[in-house]
Amino acid sequence: MKETNALFLIYPLNVTSETQANVRPGKPLFFSNKEKAEEMIVRFKEHYAFLYNEETQGEHVYCLIMEEYEMDSPFRYQLSTRVYTSDGKLINDCIIPDDGPFLGRPQSKIQHQIGDVVELPCGEQLLFGIVVRQPVCMCEDNIPFGLSASDDCYTIIQHPDLEINYAHSPMVFKPTREISEEVRSTLSEALNAYQIRINAEP
């Protein structure tokens, strides 16, 4: 990757305590280099302890996000995304710029299997979904030419509308809430129907 003058944004992704969890991004902090940004990630809870008081805030810090952008660019050119636990531990990342090239995700960073029920922020809600396809793996042969950061994604059937969602890999999470048997059953049936349809295609 070429050396760039980059800007690093850090912000918490907050989730309300309601049964139907709503997602609200917090205000971003800005840093001039990755080292300073990482220092803040580690100490974020120390600096913003009040955000972790769910009783007074009515929400909790779901995760911390670090986004890297090229400065002095005429376009909103994103260089990377890193996602951390609320305590500042790295969960996953995508260090591919917007225009790639994306040559596949390392096997060690593919955290969800086909059939896994996952959580994903979608618009203003935190939804459940089921994985129907994983990102392209770095060890696969004949990776198509011209893939970019947007291709580093899981294919998800999301609940309750059962629509297909192409979710950016770092933004797909293991569930933090209890999943009812009804939701699991509905998603499992949707996965079976999807696989039948895909296998029937010429």
Q: Which of 101, 76, 100, 61 is nearest to 7 (CA)?
A: 76
Matching residue, tokens 């090229």:
70
CATH code linked to domain 106-202: 2.30.30.140
**What's the pLDDT band for 19 if we cut at 50, 70, 90?**
low
Name the token pair of 54: 């769910």
Each domain of the chain, given as residue ranges in start order, spans 1-95, 106-202
Residues contacting residue 154 through CB under 8 Å, at least 6 positions apart: 112, 118, 131, 133, 134, 135, 166, 167, 169, 172
Cis check for the bond before 101: say yes or no (omega within 30 of 0). Answer: yes
Name the token pair of 129: 């979904």
pLDDT value of residue 144: 64
pLDDT value of residue 9: 97
pTM: 0.89
pLDDT value of residue 56: 83
**What's the pLDDT band for 1 if we cut at 50, 70, 90?**
very low
Q: Which of 124, 143, 128 is nearest to 173 (CA)?
A: 128
